[in-house]
Structure 1
Amino acid sequence: MQCQPRAASISGESSSSILIYLLNSKVYQSQHPEIVKSVCEHLQQFQTASVPISHVLVKSQILGTIWSCAPELEDGRFKCSDSFIQHFLHSHLHWTMHTSTQAAQKTPQNWEALCEDMFMHLVYHIKMYNILPELVINADQTGVCLIPAGNKTWAPTGSKQVAVFAKEEKRQFTLMVASSAAGNMVPFQAIIKGRTTREMGILWTPGGDNHWSSTESMKWTDNVLAPYIARAKWRLRAPASQKTILLIDSWSVHIGEEYHSWMREKYPYIKIAYIPSGCASFFRRLPV
């Protein structure tokens, strides 16, 4: 369903309050019924096509419809939280979550001590070399499914059989994400299995037989990280020799001698700091 943008405003009410009324209140729905109807119809189409209905998908659908149809209702204060999404799905579609359990992350018993040691390690280098926030870079990798799927989806309450499209789909690519302590985002890099030479207008890094990063593909530093550091130093009027911190996970490819030797030789100004194994979810919060 396509809804037409509305320019109407309600005097005496904040737009965030109006937005909540719009999605939850039977009284106020009459003012913008096309938004609720559009969101529900699109979600029903996804469910009919066996597309997994996750909170991320529902949030994107709700916010996208609001921005498209009535952007004046979104003033930045409204938060489409998980509890809000659950209430919306229950009240408007009568859906419940059909889910399965998953294994929890293995965390070291002394994770607090490990994280404290890591924190003090960072403090030491930042103070010793006078490193500014723009040059403290937190990088991480995550596997991204080509077709998002899983064992969790929203479906009508009481459903006995719940089909999910591409449930067995396992093809992934690796997305390299990095940001600075100042909040600046470093350009993304995708590492994809393949050996193509076709020009696609993006930084294309074939990953060989494995979509996860290898030592060769970690030369992301050449094309992404090093240019970012150079631009940051130019803005800060810092010398080329100014130290930089790169915070990464303790993967075997990161701590291997080949990668270390290459980094020491080509980028001696980059100090590598490793997050203790099993502590990434506690030590940092990088949403990837």
Structure 2
Amino acid sequence: MASDDGEYRVTGCIGQGAFGKVVLLENSAGDQTLRDRISGRVDPNNFTTETIFTEDEELRLVEHTEDSARLGYGFSNTAMQQMAGELAHHLGKRATDKPLSNCWLYGFLKRWESRISTLKPSALDSNRAKHSTPEIVAKYFDNLEVAIAEYGLQERPDCIYNLDETGISPEHRPPNIIAPIKEKAQAVTSPRSATTTLIACASASGHHLPPYFVFKGKRSNDNLSKELTPGAVVTMSETGWSTTATFKDYLENHFLKYVNRGDGSQPVLLLLDGHSTHTSQEMVKWARDRHIHLFCLPAHTSHVLQPLDVGVFGPFKRFYYSECASYMKANQGKIVTKYEIAGIACKAYLKALCHWNIVSAFRKTGVHPLNKNAVPMEKLLPCESFRDETPMLKMQSIRAGKEAVDEYLRAKSESTSTTAPCKCKCGKQNPTTPKPKPGGKLLTSDAYIEALEIYDAQKKTKAPSSSRTNLPQTSPKQSTSGLIINRTDNSESESDIDDTEVCCVCERFTPINVDKRPHLKIVNWGQCDECGHWVHLGFCHAMSVLRRGYSFLCPHCS
């Protein structure tokens, strides 16, 4: 008998089966696995495969795999086989660097099953990975501790609230079903539609407020309020997202209505994200006058610091999808529309925002009881890839202990060259104070309100240029192509550029000769890598396009 691996020959008979004799085959190369098992030379219940690496070499491979996974760049099965093959070739154990076989991979995972396994990771946005640093989290907890002590809320969990928003849609994720084998099962779902915003709020004592829905549209429709739970509210906005007016209406007519504070003088601490609708000067002063103290979470850290995000919205989405599937099954031939999602979401809301889920979420995020070490360190390790040139070396130092970390940081500081001073010859200084960032701060504090007042006063005292009416009054923001353009963006911005930033050449927001080029729709901006000032591309500089990674200098520095 012939095969791809060589010639096989019959070496014996082990019995009579329904289809004839059962024989033993032996490969000409000496493969006698079946014979060894039958003869007892190999115990199938206690079988260990040989490995190409020594135990110490495999240990290093395991540690490298663990460090990569903690940084957010773990190895898949295929990538692990490829890396192991390259390592074996590098060590002189193989003639080629081809990937190792599945047998080696399964044996490797079996030998180290107490430390590593093949898992499905959760997606982590790069902005969240970059900004969730131990320093930012530590500063947030320090400020939170001061705010809680200032208003005497150490033993008042009923006065510490968290407010957050999430989007819902008739389109849902179907659950697993029992179906015929060897067939691709299908589940009917509703088509995609406009997103509706759900505003949820709960206290550290386990109390939750009724849901507040924001639908897309201009006029309200009674059909949107079908089967709402008691206290639930439906309102409208042009985009379906929360606005400053919507947020104020929520606090004034919904939040204050369900927060029991006696005569209203009891301070309430409200944790929320830094969306622009939450941080306006008017909104902050209004809240402080009513003893509602807004505390803003650091930007891009809601996945580790926001109680509702950490322990409530996950179960809510699962319950919501389940309720949508139940509705579709009970009403076959119909779909979930915007007129049903509020009622369906209310059922999921009551299940998800139970007392235990809420209390557990506040405890897990370290809000109440206050615990500065509540966030596990492994949740913050992905930031090292963005702020360290050698993150793997730092991971090895962290594993080795405190002394190794100190040695690593000392060596890194000695090897890092100091930044050269600014060589810009224009002598232009930043004329205004940048807008204060709300992340990790108490927005209703005197210091933050004073900073907002100074910022707004500077904007008003600066004389508006007649040419500024030609373009939107927005700050330059970096686009994905590496250019700086004028555009409207309602998302949270991390840019330090102020609305009054002007070109360092013409000292104007809008180019002087922009009227002579009516075909231009946007004005591109470029930031000098040397002095950090901005320049009109194509107007005040010969270049009109900047490529990604290109080193750009303004006329003063070049």
Q: 1:215, CA displacement in angstroms?
A: 1.0
Aligned residue in 2 for 1:125: 147
Aligned residue in 2 for 1:84: none
Conservation of the 8 A alpha-carbon contact between 2:157 and 2:205: yes
Determine which of 220, 224, 243 is the counterpart of 1:214: 243
Conservation of the 8 A alpha-carbon contact between 1:191 and 1:211: yes
Partners of 1:159 and 1:263 lie apart in 2 by 60
Q: State yes or no: 1:165 paired with 2:188.
A: yes
SS in 2 for 1:187: coil
Q: 1:221, CA displacement in angstroms?
A: 0.8
What do residues 109-156 of structure 1 show as CA deviations (whole Å, max 9, x unaligned)?
Answer: 453322222222221111112122111101111111224237x86675
Conservation of the 8 A alpha-carbon contact between 1:149 and 1:167: no
Instruction: Write the letter of the residue equivalent to 2:267.
Output: K
Q: State yes or no: 1:280 paired with 2:302.
A: yes
Determine which of 185, 190, 198 is the counterpart of 2:213: 190
Determine which of 125, 128, 132 is the counterpart of 1:105: 125
Conservation of the 8 A alpha-carbon contact between 1:144 and 1:175: yes
Report matched runs for 1:1-288 at 5 Å.
Answer: 103-106=123-126, 107=128, 108-131=130-153, 132-149=156-173, 161=184, 163-166=186-189, 168-194=191-217, 195-196=219-220, 198=222, 200=225, 203-218=232-247, 219-229=249-259, 231=260, 233-234=261-262, 240-264=264-288, 267=290, 269-286=291-308, 287-288=312-313
What do residues 14-53 of structure 1 show as CA deviations (whole Å, max 9, x unaligned)?
Answer: xxxxxxxxxxxxxxxxxxxxxxxxxxxxxxxxxxxxxxxx
TM-score between both structures, scaled by the size of structure 1: 0.53
Q: 1:264, CA displacement in angstroms?
A: 4.1
Aligned residue in 2 for 1:66: none
Residues 101/283 of structure 1: CA separation in 2 closer, same or farther (3 Å cut)? closer
Q: 1:182, CA displacement in angstroms?
A: 1.3
Instruction: Write the letter of the residue equivalent to 1:105.
Output: D
Partners of 2:193 and 2:270 lie apart in 1 by 30
What do residues 244-277 of structure 1 show as CA deviations (whole Å, max 9, x unaligned)?
Answer: 1110011122123343344345x2x111011112
- Structure 2 gaps, min length 5: 1-119, 314-558
Conservation of the 8 A alpha-carbon contact between 1:215 and 1:258: no
Task: Give the aligned CA root-mean-square deviation in angstroms.
Answer: 3.1
What do residues 174-193 of structure 1 show as CA deviations (whole Å, max 9, x unaligned)?
Answer: 11111111111122211112
Higher relative contact order (CA 8 A, sep 6+): 1
TM-score between both structures, scaled by the size of structure 2: 0.29
Instruction: Write the letter of the residue equivalent to 1:135.
Output: C
Instruction: Write the letter of the residue equivalent to 1:221.
Output: L
Q: Give the number of the structure whose alpha-carbon radius of gyration is greater.
A: 2
Instruction: Write the letter of the residue equivalent to 1:187.
Output: P
Instruction: Write the letter of the residue equivalent to 1:225.
Output: F
Residues 121/162 of structure 1: CA separation in 2 closer, same or farther (3 Å cut)? same
Partners of 2:271 and 2:182 lie apart in 1 by 46
Partners of 1:113 and 1:176 lie apart in 2 by 30
Partners of 1:110 and 1:280 lie apart in 2 by 9
Counting aligned pairs with the same residue, the percent is 21
